């Protein structure tokens, strides 16, 4: 009986300790990102993804880091992952639409902006500005 209780206690200890460590990587990454220590933040978000592969926010911040590092392909991969994990993540849809617009993919940018308009909770004004940008650039 005591050995069963001891086993349960040990499992709970490691499980909760592991959960705390997992969340800690994301929070450390966020703090480093806010301090503009992008390489260190990138490493922490990648660590978080190892333990929490469905944490859309780590992928989102990785995409922001890759934007700053001007690595558009990696930025796009991470934005696509965010949208795969959460198709209603307005921020990821907006940034992917902007990225597509930068690469002159007006059709995809418009599709993404239409999706963004249909969700429209936080990025409504950005969506309107993006629509105007798409229209102006696609006329050229």
Per-residue pLDDT tens digits for 37-55: 999 999 999 999 999 999 9
Per-residue pLDDT tens digits for 55-111: 999 999 999 999 999 999 999 999 999 999 999 999 999 999 999 999 999 899 999
Domain-embedded: residue 82 = no
Residue 39 is part of a domain; what is its CATH number?
A: 1.25.40
Domain boundary among 75, 98, 130: 75
Per-residue pLDDT tens digits for 5-26: 545 555 555 554 444 455 799 9
Whether 30 and 98 map to the same domain: the answer is: no
User: At what angle are helices 38-51 and 2-34 packed, to 10 degrees?
Assistant: 150
Whether 71 and 4 map to the same domain: the answer is: yes
Model pTM score: 0.78
Q: Has residue 29 got a pLDDT over 90?
A: yes
Range of the domain at 98: 87-140
């Amino acid at each position: 009986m005591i050995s069963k209780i001891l086993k349960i206690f040990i499992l709970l200890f490691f499980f909760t300790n592991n959960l705390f460590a997992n969340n800690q990587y994301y929070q450390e990454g966020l703090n480093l990102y806010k301090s503009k220590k992008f390489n260190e933040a990138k490493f922490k978000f990648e660590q978080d993804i190892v333990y929490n592969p469905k944490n859309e926010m780590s992928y989102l911040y990785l995409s922001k880091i890759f934007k700053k590092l001007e690595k558009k392909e990696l930025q796009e991969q991470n934005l696509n992952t965010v949208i795969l994990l959460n198709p209603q993540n307005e921020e990821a849809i907006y940034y992917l639409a902007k990225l597509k617009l930068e690469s002159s993919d007006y059709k995809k940018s418009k599709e993404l902006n239409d999706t963004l308009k249909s969700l429209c909770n936080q990025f409504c004004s950005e969506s309107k500005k993006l629509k105007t940008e798409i229209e102006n650039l696609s006329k050229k």
